[in-house]
Amino acid sequence: MAAETGTPTTLTLKSNDDELFSVAESAAILSVTIRNMVEDGCAGGVIPLDNVDGKTLASVITYMNGISAIPADEEKKKSYRDKFLSDKDFETLADMVLAANYLNMSCLMDAVSAKIAQVMEKKSVGWVRRKFGIENDYTPEEEAAVKEEHKWTFEGVETDDDN
Amino acid sequence: MAAKKHLKRGTPVLPQEIIQIILSNLPPNSLLRFKTVSKSWYTIISDPLFIQTHLCSSLSESNSFAKSQDPESQPVKLLEGPCGEYDVMSFCGCVLLLVEANISLKKRLVLWDPCTRTETYVWSPDICSGRQSYGLCYDRTSRNFKVVALSLETERYVVYSSRNRSWTKRHGFPGSGKPDTSAPGVYVNGAIYWVWRRSYNKIVIRFRDSTRFVNYDPFKNTFEEFEGDASCYEYEFVPYVH
Q: What is the DSSP string of A55-85?
A: HHHHHHHHHHHHHHTS-S-HHHHHHHHHHHH
Query: Is B6 a domain residue?
Result: no
Percent of chain A with pLDDT over 70: 91
B39 and A117 within 8 Å at the Cβ level: the answer is: no
Is A147 in CB contact (< 8 Å) with chain B? yes
Mark whether B47 and B93 lie in a shared domain. Answer: no
d(CA B185, CA B203): 13
d(CA B167, CA B162): 9
B37 and A122 within 8 Å at the Cβ level: the answer is: no
Query: Is B96 a domain residue?
Result: yes
Query: Is B241 a domain residue?
Result: no
**Among the partner residues B4, B7, B32, nearest to A133 by beta-carbon distance:** B7
Partners of A10 in the β-ladder: A24
d(CA B142, CA B164): 10
B30 and A122 within 8 Å at the Cβ level: the answer is: yes
What does the pLDDT look like over A35-80, one tens digit per residue?
A: 998 888 776 678 999 999 999 999 999 999 999 998 888 889 999 9
Chain A hits for B1, CB-CB cut-off 8 Å, are: 50-51
Nearest CA in chain B to A135: B38
- The pLDDT value recorded for residue B40 is 93
Mark whether B104 and B220 lie in a shared domain. Answer: yes
- The pLDDT value recorded for residue B78 is 54
Query: Is B5 a domain residue?
Result: no
Q: ipTM for the complex? A: 0.89
- The pLDDT value recorded for residue B150 is 81
B25 and A114 within 8 Å at the Cβ level: the answer is: yes
A146 and B14 within 8 Å at the Cβ level: the answer is: no
- The pLDDT value recorded for residue A138 is 94
Mark whether B92 and B170 lie in a shared domain. Answer: yes
What does the pLDDT look like over A7-38, one tens digit per residue?
A: 558 899 999 999 999 999 999 999 999 999 88
Nearest CA in chain B to A127: B37
Where is mean pLDDT largest: A103-107, A150-154, B149-153? Answer: A103-107
Mark whether B195 and B146 lie in a shared domain. Answer: yes
Identify the residue among A49, A50, A106, A113 best suited for mutation to test binding to B, counting B beta carbons within 10 A and taking the highest: A113
Q: pTM here?
A: 0.69
d(CA A112, CA A98): 10
Domain hosting B173: range is 86-225
Residues 6+ apart with CB under 8 A from A39: none
A120 and B7 within 8 Å at the Cβ level: the answer is: no
Residues 6+ apart with CB under 8 A from B227: none
- The pLDDT value recorded for residue B31 is 92
Q: Is the pLDDT of residue A1 over 50?
A: no
A136 and B38 within 8 Å at the Cβ level: the answer is: yes
Give the angle subtended at the CA of B56 by the CAs of B52 and B60, to the nearest 5°. Answer: 170
**Kind and range of the H or E element at A24?**
strand A20-24
Mark whether B127 and B200 lie in a shared domain. Answer: yes
Helix axes A74-86, A106-120, angle to 10 degrees: 50
Tens place of pLDDT for every residue, chain B, 242 residues?
444 455 445 678 899 999 999 999 998 889 999 999 999 999 999 888 888 788 777 666 543 443 344 444 444 455 566 677 777 787 777 788 888 877 676 788 888 887 777 788 888 887 656 677 888 888 777 778 888 888 877 777 788 888 888 888 876 666 555 666 677 887 776 778 777 766 666 666 777 654 555 555 444 444 454 433 333 333 333 333 33
- The pLDDT value recorded for residue B200 is 66
- The pLDDT value recorded for residue A95 is 95
Query: Is B75 a domain residue?
Result: no
Is A109 in CB contact (< 8 Å) with chain B? yes
Query: With contact defined as beta carbons under 8 Å apart, do B134 and B185 qualify?
Result: yes
**Among the partner residues B12, B23, B42, nearest to A146 by beta-carbon distance:** B42
Signed CA dihedral, A79, A80, A86, A90: sign only: negative
Mark whether B56 and B97 lie in a shared domain. Answer: no
What average pLDDT does the segment A139-151 reach? 92
Query: With contact defined as beta carbons under 8 Å apart, do B31 and B6 qualify?
Result: no
Query: Is B30 a domain residue?
Result: yes
B38 and A149 within 8 Å at the Cβ level: the answer is: no
Mark whether B30 and B99 lie in a shared domain. Answer: no
Please name the amino acid found at residue A88: K
Mark whether B42 and B97 lie in a shared domain. Answer: no
d(CA B202, CA B222): 16
Residues 6+ apart with CB under 8 A from A90: A116, A119, A131, A163, B11
- The pLDDT value recorded for residue B136 is 85
Mark whether B103 and B37 lie in a shared domain. Answer: no
Query: Is B130 a domain residue?
Result: yes
Query: Is B74 a domain residue?
Result: no
- The pLDDT value recorded for residue B183 is 76
Chain A hits for B18, CB-CB cut-off 8 Å, are: 97-98, 101, 113
A146 and B37 within 8 Å at the Cβ level: the answer is: no
**Among the partner residues A122, A128, A157, nearest to B37 by beta-carbon distance:** A128
Report the first-to-last Cα separation within chain A, whole angstroms: 39
Mark whether B43 and B103 lie in a shared domain. Answer: no
Mark whether B215 and B107 lie in a shared domain. Answer: yes
How many domains are there within chain B?
A: 2
DSSP assignment string, chain B = --SPPB-TTSPBPPPHHHHHHHHTTS-HHHHHHGGGT-HHHHHHHH-HHHHHHHHHHHHHSSPHHHHHTSTTSPPPPP---SSS-EEEEEEETTEEEEEE-S--SS-EEEEEETTTTEEEEEEPPTT-SS-EEEEEEEETTTTEEEEEEEETTTTEEEEEETTTTEEEEE---SSSS--S--PPPEEETTEEEEEEEETTEEEEEEEETTS-EEEEETTTTEEEE--SSPP-B---------
A152 and B117 within 8 Å at the Cβ level: the answer is: yes
Domains belonging to chain A, first-starting first, are: 10-120 (3.30.710.10), 125-154 (no CATH)
- The pLDDT value recorded for residue A105 is 95
How many beta-carbon pairs under 8 angstroms link A with B?
Answer: 95
Distance from CA of A154 to the nearest CA of B (A): 6
Mark whether B104 and B47 lie in a shared domain. Answer: no
